[in-house]
Amino acid sequence: MTPEELIDNFSYLTDWEDKYRYLIELGEQLPPMPLEEKIPTNKVEGCMSQVWISHTEQNGKHLFKMDSDAHIVRGLEAILWLLVNDKTTDDIKALDIEGIFNELGLSEHLSPTRRNGFAGMVARIKEAVG
């Protein structure tokens, strides 16, 4: 799914409850992260819930695995995963992740702690790609 398709899908949802349900659905579609990758070095600090992001690079593409014990956070991870997984460094650096997040209409409905957690996830991705 492209950023434009993601934004388009969210634009059809007129109220927060529908966006909330769609966010949870996206999280349910996130590929599972193996238990052995849920280690302290993959844990994202600054999140109230448990959040893990692992990263590898293969053939010039960045591959991410993500998981969380919270449905909404897992949905946020699914959005990030759709945007950055299997992309090149240049592709990821060219993304305005925060801008896309704002266009989805999510930032005004999330608590400050969830927004901070999302920022931590984005920082982890940016750190991974350099």
Weakest-pLDDT range from 19-23, 33-37, 41-45, 106-110:
106-110
CB-based contact 106:119 (threshold 8 Å): no
| Mean pLDDT along residues 37-48 | 90
pLDDT at 25 over 80: yes
54 vs 15: CA distance, rounded Å: 33
CB under 8 Å to 36, separation ≥6 — which residues?
A: none
pLDDT at 87 over 90: yes
What's the CATH code, domain 3-129?
3.90.1010.10
CB under 8 Å to 38, separation ≥6 — which residues?
A: 50, 52, 67
**pLDDT 10s digits, 92-123:** 999 999 888 888 888 777 888 888 888 899 99
DSSP state of 36: G
State how far the alpha carbon of 87 is from the alpha carbons of 45, 55, 58, 61, 62, in Å. Answer: 24, 12, 10, 5, 6
Q: Given pLDDT bands bounded at 50, 70 and 90, which one contains residue 128? A: very high
| CB half-sphere exposure, 87, CA atoms < 13 A | 20
pLDDT at res. 59: 96
**Which residues are catalytically annotated?**
47
Of how many residues is the chain composed?
130
Phi, psi angles (nearest 5°) of residue 43: -80, 135
| CB half-sphere exposure, 4, CA atoms < 13 A | 0
**pLDDT 10s digits, 49-85:** 899 999 999 999 999 999 999 999 999 999 999 999 9
